[in-house]
Structure 1
Amino acid sequence: MTRNHDWHGDQITRDTVIDAAYRNTQNVRRFFLSEIGERFKFDRPFMEWMRTHRGDRMSDAVAEWLRREAAK
C-alpha cells in the first residue's frame, strides 16, 4: 500500500503525485512560488482543479495554473 504524501512536511517536486491527502499548505505555496514566481496566487477555481485531479503530478498543476493565467 502506498502512503499518502505529507503536504505539510514532505519535499514537493514536479513529479509529486496529487493524492487524496492533498491540502493547500504553506509547503505547497512555497513549491508554486519556486516554480511560477511571485505572481502565484491560489484562487477557488484552481483549488477545485487541484482537488479533482488526483493522480496528476505537480508539473500538471503548474502547467494548468500557467494556462489559466495566460487565458485571463
Structure 2
Amino acid sequence: MEKVYWHKNQIDDHTMITDSYKTTQNVRRYFKSKFGDDFKFDRQFMQWMQNATGLTMADACREWSSRSSKTQK
C-alpha cells in the first residue's frame, strides 16, 4: 500500500486510507469541502478512521454522513 503524506498530499475520493493515517488540517479541509461547516471530527469518527485501513476517503464520507444523519434524528 502506497504511503500517503496526510499533511500535504492531494486528497480526493479515491485516496486510500493507509496505516499511516493522521488526522490533519489537510484531511479536515477535504471533509469541509464535502460537507461544509457541518463537518466536525469527533472521537468515535476519528477512531473509525484509524481502523479504516484499505478503505477510501469516499467510504469515510459515507460513514461520516451516516453518523451525522443518525445524530440529527
TM-aligned CA deviation for residue 3 of structure 1:
3.3
The residue that corresponds to 1:39 in the other structure is 38
Q: For 1:25-63, what per-residue CA distance to the aligned partner results, in whole angstroms no more than 9, with x for missing partners?
A: 000000000011111000000000001110000000001
SS in 1 for 2:61: helix
Q: Which residue of 1 aligns with 2:2?
A: 3
Q: Give the length in aligned residue pairs.
A: 71
Give unmatched runs, 5+ long, in structure 1: none
- Corresponding residue SS for 1:16: coil
Identity of aligned residues (%): 45
When normalised by structure 1's length, the TM-score is 0.95
Does residue 1:14 correspond to 2:13, yes or no? yes
Deviates more, 1:36-45 or 1:2-11: 2-11
Query: Structure 1 residue runs of 4+, over 2 Å off?
Result: none
Q: 1:57 is aligned with what amino acid?
A: T
